[in-house]
């Protein structure tokens, strides 16, 4: 029944793959991954790979083959698989309590299924607050150039990678772009004090649009697919100040950075800031179930109450937000993360990987910059270090493909930004060891040698 050739044929004939599978996997083979253990995966031909991107899109933070997560999901499904309506669930209540205990200042969890959906919830909350408390005026949502928040029309409207997504327009009104904060590509703005200047550029947009029209600022803590952009010193403090000054809600999209990717539970916790809304998805259940969350402060929740709507009336429903498998898996993922000190390992191994990539930079002139936090690292490739001209996309893809042929799976920055798909991305499971990382870096070394010389 599972004859490899028949499966590959069925896949070729009937599966409509998404963007990343189309672009990367197709250059090598219709690579169907059939098994995983720890950081290793095996494809349908039996070939072993070391996975440095946690399931392709940095999701499987705890690694593959965790039986206790599967057991918890199975037990829960047999007992009570699903009841949405207005009912809650035991794992839902327990998880919301456990999650918010790790997010001081936040206290309410709205369950959904994907990163895009969690962000849609946040956008709807902002709009409802605008209508209920600001006469509809504070309805605009600011997003940042190069950030990504999902694939729906509203999320694409809030997406800072719109060039190649133009075919999905017209986009939704009320979303306004602010500049990115990548110092390496900031031109004359770079240098001492750049963090503050980059944040001030957001204030300029706010003043141009009118502060009383803006409800929220939505940012990734570290821009992920847009090129691993770690905001410069002083940036976040100033961003928080600006939001407070103009009564703008700070919405942090932790879909990628959450759950230890950067070395703390959430990326924003690296900076001591206090967001009003936090969205998360991939790492919540680490790929063992489909679940996402939109978490808010009590103050945000309270804005949905009035004399008649005591329970926080948000006119929204998510059918599968009522699935119990998600929070059941998420509770186990959280326990594993703590028992195995995966946050600490992410910090330690992240520093190790960063050092190894810097060594590669000494060897290969095509690496223009190495940047990252925890087990979330990037190496920006250039054709010329002095002009910083990006390395051709074709060559970047060839490096990724060469690694894959060697059995090393890495990523590259998002393919919707022409000219800037030149950052190699590394986000292995948080259980990675030095040996795993050495293997990944050796693969990249050999690939660059072959492709760039």
Residues 31-60 that bind ligand PMP (CB under 6 A): 57
CA 128 to each of CA 59, 106, 136, 139, 425: distance values in angstroms, whole numbers, following the listed order: 31, 19, 8, 8, 37
Sole binder of ligand PMP in the list 56, 92, 150, 321 (CB under 6 A): 150
How many angstroms from the chain centroid is the CA of residue 102? 19
Q: Which is nearer to ligand PMP, 72 or 224 (CB)?
A: 224
- Rounded Cα distance, 422 and 113, in Å: 30
CA distances to 119, 142, 225, 231, 392 from 160, rounded to whole Å, are 14, 10, 11, 16, 21
Please work out the total of residues on this chain that contact ligand PMP, with binding judged by CB under 6 A. 16
Q: How far is the CB of 335 from ligand PMP (least distance, A)?
A: 23
Gyration radius of the chain's alpha carbons: 22
Residue 356: burial class (beta carbons within 10 Å; 0-12, 13-18, 19+): buried
Among 21, 151, 177, 274, binds ligand PMP (CB under 6 A): 151
* Neighbouring C-beta atoms of residue 11, cutoff 10 Å: 15
> Of residues 269-308, which lie at the interface with ligand PMP (CB under 6 A)?
281
3-class state of residue 10 by DSSP: helix
Query: Which tokens is 249 given?
Result: 């809600």
Stretch that binds ligand PMP, among 79-87, 146-154, 156-164, 371-379 (CB under 6 A): 146-154
145-161 as b/e: b if 16+ CB within 10 A: bbbbbbbbbbbbbbbbb
Check residue 240 for interaction with ligand PMP (CB under 6 A): no
Determine the interface stretch with ligand PMP among 114-122, 164-172, 263-271, 320-328 (rule: CB under 6 A). 114-122
CB of 445 to ligand PMP, least distance (A): 27
Query: Which C-beta is closer to ligand PMP: that of 178 or that of 256?
Result: 256
Contact 306, 46 (CB under 8 A): no
| Among positions 92, 179, 225, 231, the unique one binding ligand PMP when judged by CB under 6 A | 225
Closest separation in Å from C-beta 145 to ligand PMP: 14
The interface mask with ligand PMP, positions 417-446, x = CB under 6 A, is ------------------------------
Residues binding ligand PMP (CB under 6 A): 57, 114-116, 119, 148-151, 220, 224-225, 253, 255-256, 281
């Amino acid at each position: 029944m599972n004859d490899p050739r028949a499966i590959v044929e069925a896949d070729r004939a009937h599966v409509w793959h998404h963007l990343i599978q189309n672009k990367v996997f197709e250059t090598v083979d219709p690579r169907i991954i059939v098994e995983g253990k720890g950081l290793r995966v095996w494809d349908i031909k039996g070939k072993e790979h070391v996975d440095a991107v946690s399931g392709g899109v940095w999701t499987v933070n705890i690694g593959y083959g965790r039986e206790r997560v599967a057991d918890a999901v199975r037990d829960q499904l047999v007992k009570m698989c699903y009841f949405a309506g207005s009912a809650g669930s035991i794992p839902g209540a327990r998880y919301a309590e456990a999650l918010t205990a790790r997010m001081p200042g936040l206290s309410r969890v709205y369950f959904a299924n994907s990163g895009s959906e969690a962000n849609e919830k946040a956008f709807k909350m902002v709009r409802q607050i605008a209508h209920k408390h600001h006469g509809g005026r504070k309805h605009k949502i600011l997003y940042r150039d190069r950030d990504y928040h999902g694939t729906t029309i509203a999320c694409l409207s809030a997406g800072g990678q719109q060039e190649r997504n133009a075919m999905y327009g017209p986009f939704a009104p009320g979303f306004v772009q602010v500049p990115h904060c990548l110092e390496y590509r900031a031109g004359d703005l770079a240098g001492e004090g750049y963090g503050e200047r980059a944040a001030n550029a957001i204030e300029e947009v706010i003043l141009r649009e009118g502060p009383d029209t803006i409800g929220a600022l939505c940012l990734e803590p570290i821009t992920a697919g847009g090129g691993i952009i770690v905001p410069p010193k002083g940036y976040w403090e100033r961003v928080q100040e600006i939001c407070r000054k103009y009564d703008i809600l700070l919405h942090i999209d932790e879909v990628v950075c959450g759950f230890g990717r950067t070395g703390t539970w959430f990326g924003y916790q690296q900076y001591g800031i206090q967001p009003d809304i936090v969205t998360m998805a991939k790492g919540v259940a680490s790929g063992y179930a489909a679940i996402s969350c939109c978490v808010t402060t009590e103050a945000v929740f309270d804005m949905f109450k009035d004399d008649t709507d005591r329970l926080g009336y948000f006119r929204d429903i998510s059918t599968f937000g009522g699935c119990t498998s998600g929070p059941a898996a998420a509770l186990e993922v959280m326990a594993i993360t703590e028992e195995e000190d995966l946050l600490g390992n992410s910090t330690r191994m992240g520093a190790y990987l960063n050092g190894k990539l810097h060594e590669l930079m000494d060897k290969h002139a095509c690496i223009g910059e190495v940047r990252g936090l925890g087990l979330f690292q990037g190496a920006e490739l250039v054709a010329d270090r002095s002009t910083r001209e990006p390395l051709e996309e074709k060559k970047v893809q060839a490096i990724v493909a060469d690694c894959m042929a060697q059995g090393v799976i890495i990523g590259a920055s998002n393919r919707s930004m022409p000219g800037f798909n030149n950052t190699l991305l590394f986000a292995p499971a948080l259980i990675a060891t030095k040996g795993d990382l050495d293997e990944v870096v050796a693969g990249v070394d050999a690939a660059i040698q072959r492709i760039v010389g």
